[in-house]
């Protein structure tokens, strides 16, 4: 199979490439990424560069995307996005541009050049927020996004759906709960808390810290996307979630306990505007129809993740001080524009 992955230099996309290389080495992979602040080719340093092709391209630019898609692909998996809620509150415009318009550019190219399957990697945040005793989100829960980020992802989902209904394209949408694992950018809760705790810095908890997220290890997310890509029924949405609801304070305390650091590092700070109180995913559909099941418990996944950050200090120091951005120049400077597929 020839697979075009967008956003493969980010957290989940890079893990997906690693997952694919170990589970389906026969597939050909092309990774396109604009290398925004969140794109880091260091995330793929341990993947043999001969095993996939990288092209720096922006999904909002049809002039860059069409000639690539024209090369012929069986599948496009769209990970490329602006992904951080707090950044979307500061400036929604990049979110609308990349998440909505970029998705439409990709869909048009896929339609034009006969890509057989389009998988849109979406989020449970499109469903909005839950009260403590509400049932978990199913695939038929109404879309009610609350942040500019989730609104842009919901909009993209609707465009993807429309290309199925209108043009008969074979599409799937996956909606996943909060991911954690190696190579997550330290603006997100778990890596930020690990790194701050390691350096004895304050751990900023928004509001009362009683917000609930349903945590899934990124490797289990990748396994779910892989199944949907191969066996998903055209036009269907699949929720992916680990059944691991935890309050933010639980997460922070777990990290502190593992690292032997004091709870006095916790600082409650002003809440995020429009902060969703609870997310929870009902993943029975993907379990029943595609046979997906998570390999990690939260306990095994969080220990492994904390150990990863302990053992990869050079990765997060480079991310934090910005030197990871030099890597692309060092690695690709002389070969810019070259592609190997």
Nearer to ligand NAD among residue 13 and residue 164 (C-beta): 13
From CA 87, how far away is CA 91, in angstroms rounded? Answer: 6
Stretch that binds ligand NAD, among 30-38, 108-116, 201-209, 272-280 (CB under 6 A): 30-38
Tell me, yes or no, if 91 is annotated catalytic. Answer: no
| 179 is an interface residue for ligand NAD by CB under 6 A | yes
Binding residue for ligand NAD, selected from 7, 128, 232, 241, defined by CB under 6 A? 7
Nearer to ligand NAD among residue 228 and residue 265 (C-beta): 228
Q: What are phi and psi of 228, to 5 degrees?
A: -65, -45
**Interface residues with ligand TYD (CB under 6 A)?**
85, 178, 188-189, 192, 204-206, 211, 213, 248, 272
| 148 is an interface residue for ligand NAD by CB under 6 A | no
First-to-last C-alpha distance (Å) of the chain: 13
Nearer to ligand NAD among residue 179 and residue 261 (C-beta): 179
From CA 229, how far away is CA 298, in angstroms rounded? Answer: 25
- Quote the tokens at residue 237: 């949405």
Site string for ligand NAD, 184-213 (x = CB under 6 A): -x----------------------------
Specify whether the CB–CB gap between 130 and 278 falls below 8 A. Answer: yes
- Quote the tokens at residue 98: 């990349």
Burial class (CB in 10 A: 0-12, 13-18, 19+), 108: middle
- Catalytic residue of the set 58, 82, 125, 226: 125
Tell me, yes or no, if 124 is annotated catalytic. Answer: yes
| 13 is an interface residue for ligand NAD by CB under 6 A | yes
| 181 is an interface residue for ligand NAD by CB under 6 A | no
User: Which sign, positive or negative, has the C-alpha torsion 314, 253, 246, 249?
Assistant: negative
Nearest residue relative to ligand NAD (C-beta): 10
The strand pair at 245-247 and 212-214 is best described as: antiparallel
DSSP string, 50-81: GGSEEEE--TT-HHHHHHHHTT--SEEEE--S
DSSP string, 191-214: HHHHHHHHTT--EEEETTS--EEE
- Catalytic residue of the set 149, 183, 238, 296: 149
Q: How far is the CB of 30 from ligand NAD (least distance, A)?
A: 13
Tell me, yes or no, if 149 is annotated catalytic. Answer: yes
Q: Which residues bind ligand NAD (CB under 6 A)?
A: 6-7, 9-13, 33-36, 38-39, 58-60, 79-81, 83, 98, 102, 121, 123, 153, 176, 178-179, 185
């Amino acid at each position: 199979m020839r697979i075009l992955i967008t956003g493969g230099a980010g957290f989940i996309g890079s893990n997906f490439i690693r997952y694919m290389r170990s589970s389906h080495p026969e597939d050909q992979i092309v990774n396109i990424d604009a290398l925004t602040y969140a794109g880091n080719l260091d995330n793929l340093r341990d993947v043999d560069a001969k095993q996939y092709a990288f092209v720096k391209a922006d999904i909002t630019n049809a002039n860059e995307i069409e000639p690539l898609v024209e090369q012929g692909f069986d599948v496009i998996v769209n990970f490329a996005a602006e992904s951080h809620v707090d950044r979307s509150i500061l400036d929604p415009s990049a979110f609308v541009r990349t998440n909505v318009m970029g998705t439409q550019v990709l869909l048009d190219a896929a339609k034009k050049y006969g890509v057989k399957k389009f998988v849109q990697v979406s989020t449970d945040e499109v469903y909005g927020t839950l009260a403590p005793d509400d049932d978990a989100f199913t695939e038929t829960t109404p879309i009610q996004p609350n942040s500019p980020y989730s609104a842009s992802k919901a909009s993209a989902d609707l465009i993807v759906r429309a290309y199925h209904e209108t043009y008969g394209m074979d599409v799937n949408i996956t909606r996943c709960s909060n991911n954690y694992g190696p190579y997550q950018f330290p603006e997100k809760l778990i890596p930020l808390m690990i790194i701050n705790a390691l350096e004895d810095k304050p751990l900023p908890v928004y509001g009362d810290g009683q917000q609930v997220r349903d945590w899934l290890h990124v490797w289990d997310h990748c396994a779910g996307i892989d199944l949907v890509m191969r066996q998903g029924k055209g036009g269907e949405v699949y929720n992916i979630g680990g059944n691991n609801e935890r309050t933010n304070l639980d997460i922070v305390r777990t990290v502190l306990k593992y690292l032997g650091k004091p709870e006095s590092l916790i600082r409650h700070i002003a809440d995020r505007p429009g902060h969703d109180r609870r997310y929870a995913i009902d993943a029975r559909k993907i379990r029943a129809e595609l046979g997906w099941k998570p390999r990690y418990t939260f306990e095994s996944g969080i220990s492994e993740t904390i150990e990863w950050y302990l053992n990869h200090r050079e990765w997060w120091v480079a991310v934090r001080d910005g030197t990871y951005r030099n890597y692309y120049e060092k690695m690709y400077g002389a070969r810019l524009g070259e592609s190997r597929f």
